Amino acid sequence: MSIKKRIFTLAIIFLVIFSGDSYSAQKNTDPRARNIFALFTKANPKLSAVTAKKYSELVIEASEKYKQDPYVIAAIIVHESTVNNKAKSKGGDYGLMQIRWKYHKDSVRKIFPNVKHPHDMFDARVNIFYGTKLFGEYLKKANNDLRGGLMGYSAGGTKLTRKVLATLKKLQSKDTNTNTKTRKRKGK
């Protein structure tokens, strides 16, 4: 191996070892965003650190705007799309939160007038904000019962509901010092 290749290889190793995740150097970052970042990068190893950070911050921002628990939204993203922004189901669900275009296009367009086509739902900001708002509506219809809200969001999908609740529990266990807005499940 030539000296240039050795130096290049050592430089790459140095960057990998000392760079850490994109949150490690930022002491003031919301700890929930760091936990969501870790969840996203574990769920989708192909996701770049920059993209995972962007998605994490969008989840926090949307959750604050619509007064939802960011961990619930992150868990929905993980189990709906495996944090794949280009995910599309056979039924016409798009993006990170798998928004069903044919049912929600009018509502989406009221909030995001620039959204004209189903593929516009691949915009992470639009998808996360609309999905968070939509989940909040289902949660309200379920009288703030988390399980009921998830069942509404997933059109009765018990499998998704169970997975989201399990992921939520793991996230909350990592975050004992953060005051999240998790709603208590009724009947438990």
Judge whether 18 lies within some domain. Answer: no
Judge whether 184 lies within some domain. Answer: no
List the CATH number of the domain containing 107: 1.10.530.10
Angle at the Cα of 159 from the Cα atoms of 156 and 165, rounded to 5 degrees? 100
Give the chain's domain count. 1
Judge whether 8 lies within some domain. Answer: no
Judge whether 21 lies within some domain. Answer: no
pLDDT digits (tens, 9 = 90+) for 41-61: 999 999 999 999 999 999 999
Judge whether 95 lies within some domain. Answer: yes
Strands 93-94 and 99-100 come out as antiparallel
CA–CA distance, 170 with 149 (Å, rounded to integer) = 19
Judge whether 45 lies within some domain. Answer: yes
Q: Are 131 and 73 in contact (CB under 8 A)?
A: yes
Judge whether 44 lies within some domain. Answer: yes
pTM assigned to the model: 0.79
Q: What is the DSSP letter of 185?
A: P
pLDDT digits (tens, 9 = 90+) for 104-123: 999 999 999 999 999 999 99
